[in-house]
Structure 1
Amino acid sequence: MARHPAHQRVPPPVTAGSVLAVSTPTRGGEDESAGAIIGPERLLAFGDAVFAIAITLLALDITVPGDLEARDLGRALHRTLSDIGAYLLSFVVIGVLWISQHTLFHRVARLDSALLHLYLALLAVIAALPFPTRLISEYADTPAATAVYSGSIALASGLLAAMTLRLLLRPALATPGTDPGRLRVSMYEGLVMVVVFAASVPLAFASPAAAQLWWLAAIPARAWLSRRTRKAPSRRPSGAPPRN
């Protein structure tokens, strides 16, 4: 029988239990969880790509037939006004969500599984937004299209608010010096979007036009919260460096 030199270590046989032990982080070992491996910066870069693709797909829906005669072009352009309106609406909504996610990740020092899964769920909703946008473009006067669009925006805003709440509940995930008061205001801004768009779902079945006008209520509500944020004194922990 061949003998191994004393200074060489014979690896143990690979079993299901040993694989699990290697892939599971221990107290003294390196954290190999998905959140630790990916990191906030890499996840945010992936999210930026998803946001950019979603906005691009919105613009691709604005088309006119290619075989029109000159006298018919004006009517065709007029018919695209609903497509342009839906595009601008979703562009603004996605833009607000994109800015909000960057504001949130500015305060994220590390990820855990909850933050990772919440963010992946958010990206799934963002990637699918061209579909409800198309619905609201072609069937804006129907309760179903208005309700689907409202529910999609409410869900996306709710996921961002849940991520902010996670940072409040787990301060160790936040960057040093993060002001909990500003996190709460960010969460309230997300909840404003949730309340406005979720409330418009039942309203859409009474009047789709009234539900769509109700969406505008999010603008003064968020503006009021922004003014409150600027006026509120910062409550950083003592000795913490100022945030930019």
Structure 2
Amino acid sequence: MNAYPTDTESDVKETGRVEAFSDGVIAIAITLLVLEIRVPHLEEGQRLADGLWDIWPAYLAYIISFFTIGIMWINHHRLFHLIKRVDDVFLGLNTLLLMMITFVNFPTSLLADHLDNPDERRTAALVYSGTFVVTAIAFNGLWRYASHHNRLIDRKTDLTQVNAITQQYNYGPLMYLAAFLAAFISVPLSLAINFGLALFFALPGRAKKGGETLNKKGDS
């Protein structure tokens, strides 16, 4: 006998609404990042090429933040292949995650404005990496709550798959904390860790069940 109630059509509709709302918020957040790349103001006699080079911090901040938010969206989308129900606590945790994602625009602006300032770039990098520490904790909390004893995810999901995803996400807060601490030693190192984490989380979580990954299972 099935110990859990079956997923109803209304459950599926609710998860669809949450995912659609989240997609919209994340899309706005990632679009706003480009506003930090402004047309350079040229001094008299200054060449445009030089002016474009002078705003390199804005390019770098944009690239790291865009990839990071983009990968968060991909992983958020992957999770909703497994999440089949929502409740008020989940909605609250998801809202907290979205709040942090939309906040990323602020530390991105700080980094763009102060990365080339030796006196202020460390502070900007600390705020930047610190924001991702909290964001990673929020993402982990969302998944941990949904997956605990298969609370909100597909009842048929293999425990090995759940553990594989959890293990991958456990690295997030720790590595972003490493990026935060690295900023005290080297700002370039801190930013390299942030960008490297975006690439790491672009990889699908591995779950040994017939060789399937989360991507393949969700698409089947």
Alignment of 1:131-210 (within 5 A): 131-140=106-115, 142-210=121-189
Residue-by-residue CA offset, 1:18-69 (whole Å, 9 max, x unaligned): xxxxxxxxxxxxxxxxx97x82111111111111111111011111246777
Alignment of 1:18-37 (within 5 A): none
**What residue is the counterpart of 2:3 in the other structure?**
none
The 1-side partners of 2:63 and 2:199 are apart by 19
1:93 counterpart = 2:68:
yes
Residue type of the partner of 1:50? V
2:87 aligned to which of 85, 106, 112: 112
Query: CA shift at 1:160, angstroms?
Result: 1.6
Instruction: Give the C-alpha shift of residue 80 in structure 1.
Output: 2.1
| Partner in structure 2 of residue 214 of structure 1 | 193
- Which of 202, 209, 212 aligns to 1:233? It is 209
CA distance in 1 between partners of 2:174 and 2:111 (Å)? 20
Provide Cα deviations, 1:69-120, integer angstroms capped at 9, x if missing partner. 7853122111222111111111110011001111111111111122111100
User: 1:180 and 1:73 mapped to 2: Cα distance?
Assistant: 57
* Alpha carbons 1:168, 1:180 under 8 Å: kept: no
CA shift digits 1:110-143 (9 cap, x unpaired): 1112211110000001111111111122223522
Query: Separation in 2 of the partners of 1:219 and 1:101?
Result: 14
Secondary structure in 2 aligned to 1:205? coil
Alpha-carbon RMSD across the aligned residues, in angstroms, is: 3.0
CA distance in 2, matches of 1:215, 1:183: 25
Corresponding position of 2:28: 53
Supply the AA of the counterpart residue of 1:229: R
Q: List per-residue Cα deviations over 1:179-216 (Å, max 9, x = no partner).
A: 23222222222222211111222221232223223335
Residues 69, 46 of structure 1: alpha-carbon distance in 2 compared, 3 angstrom cutoff: farther
Q: Which residue of the partner structure matches residue 103 of structure 1?
A: 78
SS at structure 1 position matched to 2:72: helix
Say if 1:97 and 1:157, in contact at 8 Å, map to a contact too: no
TM-score of the pair, normalised by structure 2: 0.79
Aligned partners of 1:120 and 1:63: how far apart in 2? 30
- Whose radius of gyration is greater, 1 or 2? 1
- TM-score for the superposition, normalised by structure 1: 0.71
Structure 2, unaligned runs of 5 or more: 1-9
Quick one: percent identity of the two aligned structures? 28
Corresponding residue pairs, total = 202
SS of 1:39's equivalent?
helix
Which one has more relative contact order, counting CA pairs under 8 Å at least 6 apart? 2
